[in-house]
Structures are given as structure tokens and as C-alpha cells.
Amino acid sequence: MEVQSATQLTAKKCLPCEGGVEACSLDFSSQQLNALPEWQLSEDGKSIARVWKLKNFVQAVGLINTIAEVAEVDQHHPNLHLTDYRKVRVELTTHAIGGLSENDFILAAKIDSIARVVGL
């Protein structure tokens, strides 16, 4: 796998992952995040996350619902957290392999596109 731009990632579709593949290395994940600078790599290198603080509860729930629609189309589902009534945290990992896969970076790029469209 090679490092890709956010545009390249957004153009892709997540592929089903049932396990049996290696998780992305810490080095690769760090390099790939250069294309997704708002995302943070977890300390153990097994997930990435991004946080938004929105104007109000309705806007936060709207963002979650839009992310859910895109995630459902790609069949790659993030952990979505709503706290403090307007703070949204999205966490991506590929559970079947216990770490990050290309799917996580694809969905992160698509979520970034969503955020830009809604003005975040």
C-alpha cells in the first residue's frame, strides 16, 4: 500500500475486510495522516480520531447523521461520540484486524469532505 492524497482516498470505496490482512504499520499510518492533518493517531497506532465542536446540538446531530449515511454506503462504520451537547468525536479502526486499514483512511477523507461541505 502506498501513501495517497486526500483526493485519491475520497475517490475510493471501502472494501470488505473480514480479517486475514495486516494492519497498517505505525510508520505508514503516520505518513498517510499527512494527507489528513485534522486526524490524530492513537498512542497504540490502532485508530485515528477527529473532533469537532459545533454551534449547537442540532448541527452536531446533523453531522453525525451525514457521516452515518456515508459510512453505511461504504459499509465501514466509525465509532461516533456526541458529548457536551455539541462536541462530535469520530474514531476509525478496522475491528476485524485490530488496527488501521486503508478503509479507515478512505472514510476519514470522505468525512473531511462532508465537513467542508457543511462549512466546518
Q: What pLDDT digit, counting tens, does each position of 59-90 carry?
A: 999 999 999 999 999 999 999 999 999 999 99
Which pLDDT belongs to residue 70?
95
Is residue 50 classed as helix, strand or coil in its secondary structure? strand
Nearest-angstrom CA–CA distance, 14 and 39? 18
For residue 57, the surrounding DSSP H or E stretch is: helix 57-74
Q: Is residue 1 pLDDT above 90, yes or no?
A: no
In sequence order, the β-bridge partners of residue 82 are 88
Burial string for 59-79 (b: 16+ CB within 10 Å, else e) reads bbeebbeebeebbeebebebe
> What confidence category does residue 117 fall into, taking pLDDT thresholds of 50, 70 and 90?
confident
Assess contact for 43 and 87: CB atoms under 8 A: no
Q: What is the pTM of this model?
A: 0.94
Q: What pLDDT digit, counting tens, does each position of 11-51 carry?
A: 999 988 777 789 999 999 999 999 999 999 999 999 999 99
Return the number of other C-beta atoms located less than 10 Å from residue 108's C-beta.
Answer: 26
Nearest-angstrom CA–CA distance, 39 and 16? 23
Which pLDDT belongs to residue 110?
97
Which pLDDT belongs to residue 16?
83
Residues in the chain: 120
Q: Is residue 118 pLDDT above 80, yes or no?
A: no
